[in-house]
Chains A and B, each alone.
Chain A
């Protein structure tokens, strides 16, 4: 028969990490929504906006990435 009666085991860390990604998710969404809005208003400034946005994206996503590292390690 099926080995479907496997007990659910794992770490609560992963649930916590799932909740913690909400912040970075909103942050990244905000950054790129601002770029889209900015591009719609002033298309020629897209390059300048994007290069700042990439830095901001990296900094914001660092939170999510540090989160996953801690979720695994702790």
Chain B
């Protein structure tokens, strides 16, 4: 199982992909870990430019789309909104009131930009999995998910330390109020592990695992269906056709999962920020 460890450690995965690329067995059937390998955009430039791959470009395009969308929604605003501004305000309101204000509570406005950007970036990248140009959800490469989780981890710890001071924050996160002294030995390591170590890991892995598994299911239905359809035997062709038709339902499910995971990531970030700056636990 050593090869699959690369799923959790992005660099190992890249090395494994390079190996399989040399064997020429990276594409096609059966779909597996190697279906998620990145393709360098300029292979003739050599190793030094291998980081410039299709998934990186996809993430950058996603970021550009998000920035462009919100700039377009925000420019030339009027007192009486037109259609464009109405749409923009409706979307912004969902994020600001539904996530930031309800969860972070008092003093939520500082965090609205980050939360809006986070939600839209994850959403756009997840929807790339169903979008014809890319057909690949960026966050099914775990490196991208780790980066976002680290960003959120820095944010919620940062605001906590800024508000309470380093030791004050440490005391607040590791020791809930009202714990009897006899239990401190047990509670402090547990809370430390839960709040500072497990939180970012689960944040990244939840996003990654959902999109990875979803994309794999899509691949199984589409690639397997195509294989059966080309087999030339009547029964198998019928099964392949059914599989391809059913893949549309899977695509629908994947769109739902993409939106849900973007929402959950944002809500949990807001929740962690709120628990870091809450007055009393």
On A, residues with C-beta under 8 Å from B are 1-4, 6, 11, 13, 47, 50-51, 54-55, 58-59, 61-62, 65-66, 68-69, 72-74
Contact = CB atoms under 8 A, between A and B. Distances in A.
B33 to A, nearest CB: 10
Q: Specify the main secondary structure of chain A where it touches its partner.
A: helix
Contact of A62 (B29, B30, B202, B236): B202
Contacts of B206: 61, 65
A69 B102 contact: no
B267 interface: yes
Given A58-B268, A68-B209, 7 more contacts: A3-B29, A11-B4, A13-B1, A51-B274, A59-B194, A62-B202, A73-B1
Nearest to B203: A58
A65 B206 CA distance: 6
Nearest to B5: A73
Contact of A2 (B103, B198, B227): B227
A6 B205 contact: no
A53 to B, nearest CB: 10
Contacts of A2: 227-228, 231, 236
Interface string B188-208: 000000100011011001100
A72 B231 contact: no
